[in-house]
A = this chain, B = another copy of it.
């Protein structure tokens, strides 16, 4: 069973004994979602949270007019939907599968029990939530204090870092999701990518982007 393997890989469960890991695995159930499928919606009562086994998930908000703002892209081995486990009540945002994916479902009450018994698990969870807060603070900062080109440049640098420093990076998400993550619309992303290309900072071939002028991109990222 691969569920225990993915649990073992997740930072959330780092440092726990084999017995604990087995006990954790025992309270989970598997659940698959098809690409585009909604996993949960804002306001719904939450009776469980999820861990991604494979595939990716977006967590997002929607305006009355239908515009989206992506809050997180969840990669394999990362949990999502864990907030209402502790703040009570209901999901504060929506989640949908970006690709076909497999998840592990952790029922709220069983997990809380485990948590109470195992201080390390609680500490891991505190670390997880704190890192999320740090990321949120950065997101707020970017949305409020920077313009779209700077956000896009930041994202390119993030991709570069993620790919181990290579100047050739692949957009890991479709551009409409990217724009929703940057708090803008696809048209704007398209235009800015274009501008950066004509300025000689990058070259774009479909979803593959090559950073030609690292310094130039960094200047963009801080706002010229």
Contact = CB atoms under 8 A, between A and B. Distances in A.
A133 B61 CA distance: 13
A173 interface: no
A67 interface: yes
A2 interface: no
Nearest to A224: B64
A177 interface: no
Interface of A is mostly: helix
Contacts of A127: 86-88
Contact of A140 (B69, B84, B123, B222): B69
In this complex, the interface size class of chain A, counting residues with CB under 8 Å from chain B, is: 35 or more
Contacts of A88: 127
Given A136-B133, A140-B71, A145 B63 contact: yes
Interface of A: 61-65, 67, 69, 71, 83-88, 92-93, 115-116, 119, 122-123, 125-127, 129-134, 136-141, 143-146, 183, 222-223
24 contacts: A61-B137, A61-B144, A64-B223, A65-B223, A67-B145, A69-B144, A83-B134, A86-B127, A87-B127, A88-B127, A115-B126, A122-B126, A125-B126, A126-B126, A126-B129, A129-B129, A129-B130, A129-B133, A132-B133, A133-B136, A136-B140, A143-B144, A143-B183, A144-B183
